[in-house]
Chain A
Amino acid sequence: MMLNRNWKSVNIFRIASRSIHHKENFRKYPKVNVKDVELEKPRYGFRKERAPLLSEGVTDTLFPSVEIRKKYIENSKPVPIKYRSRSDEIAKRNYEKYKEEVLTGSPHFRVGEKSVYFPKARICLLRPNAKHTPYQAKFLVPRNFNKMDLRDYLWHVYGLRALNVTVQLLHARFERGPDDHARYRGPQYKKMTIDMEEPFIWPELPNDIVKRAKENYDNQLAIIENKNAVGSDKLKPSEAFGGLYDKPQLSDSFIPKRTKRVGEKSLSSLKEKEESQSNNSLLESYLKL
């Protein structure tokens, strides 16, 4: 009894009581009031509350580094390293420059020095994924393209300002042909996502276009199936394209193979005979014999 009452203070005994496998007496259970038990404890607010950082006080400026630095100095505290640099000033200067360039309509970047008069690169605007905002646009670009190339291209061809460019180089998928013994690497595609000043949302496809495309696909598939049919499936009519390839089905009568062979020969000889007769009679009438 002693052991259990003082288990907090004497840890060794607690370890010793591990080997007791029978159920302990309920009188020795810890006494807790139901009302005191909080079932769903909040998972926040239990940490130590800290005073807000000095840097958090500055919220209304775009380039707050200078002001934050001043605040720390006023409170005679060491300025954090990230607020010591001049990067904010540089960013501010660049921002001013960018605004001016937008106003004057000049490019917002250093234009490349190689002049291309007839770009042959194929740039393809892609539909956005779920992760993209309307201010982003994704392009399929040639593999030899880099970020600057795309920025230059979009500016000079479309007058579109790419504010930021990120690259996604897709891995080459394995491809496997029906008769191949091995798998091969397919092409690697490069895609680039840009940030834009103005939002762009792809227009929704008209319903009838989607429907027509589906119909056309199904029809073409049916026709391919019909043309590649083997054996008796060649007799199968196809209703694809509104019955464009559907020939009228005439009923055949059964004629033995031998009758066909003999009949064809005798009929053709009969025809020849008749033709020669008519030719002769025409000739006779012309020559007035």
Chain B
Amino acid sequence: MWEYTEKVKELFLHPKNAGEIENPDAVGEVGSIVCGDALKLTLRIDRKTDRIIDAKFRTFGCASAIASSSALTELIKGKTVDEALRITNKDIADYLGSLPREKMHCSVMGMEALQAAIANYRGEKPRRAEEGKIVCECFGVTDEKIKRVIRENNLQTVEDVTNFTKAGGGCGSCIPEIEKILGEVRGERVAVKPEAPRRKLTNIQKIAMIQEVMEREIRPLLQADGGDVELVDVEGDKVTVSLRGMCTGCLMADVTVKNIEKKLKELVSEELFVEAA
């Protein structure tokens, strides 16, 4: 059972502003029934003052999705459109006391519905449609969304990215891609500080890291195509591998070995080179 705050329970059991405004000035729709949660936000906006006079929601989803939607409408009522745009998913979570980490994507959905509604009000194209390429096919999450949410919530792990955006929570095949994006965004932050000098690896550390990268990064990719690879030996900077399964005798075997080398150079040490046994 989830540990929901009293506020979440209250807004789930007795949601405020449930429903739909007729002839609304703005509509924001995000999510889908296939993904398991969806939110339709309708707003009444005073066009002279740009102030949100009324907000209503309809939500398909779990208790925290319903409570997050209700919280959003409470937060934005009375605000101008510009003020409302400053609301982040964190504000929604704070309004609710807190949300379980695994449910943070519900607050992100609220924020996105608001952004979509305001874009609709201003006659702009919705952000999602024009931005980025799809990373997570299962839940239709783009790289731009992942980057934005990582920055706004200072996310550190793939698990967090999944909790906040759902990306990677389905088949999991995009997890390497998410790791890459996470690395890039975090790299932006690191770049501000002077880069720490790279430590010289001991042999034991080097072999352990090579093994880990092989297991985590390389083998799953090859296995997905019916191939596999085995680490045979590490002597100095020479890494010997043996290709297995569909990789044996494959015309692309040389390319595969080169790609393994690239990955090891990137993640373990620039000095490494890879040979097939």
Q: Do A and B come from one complex?
A: no
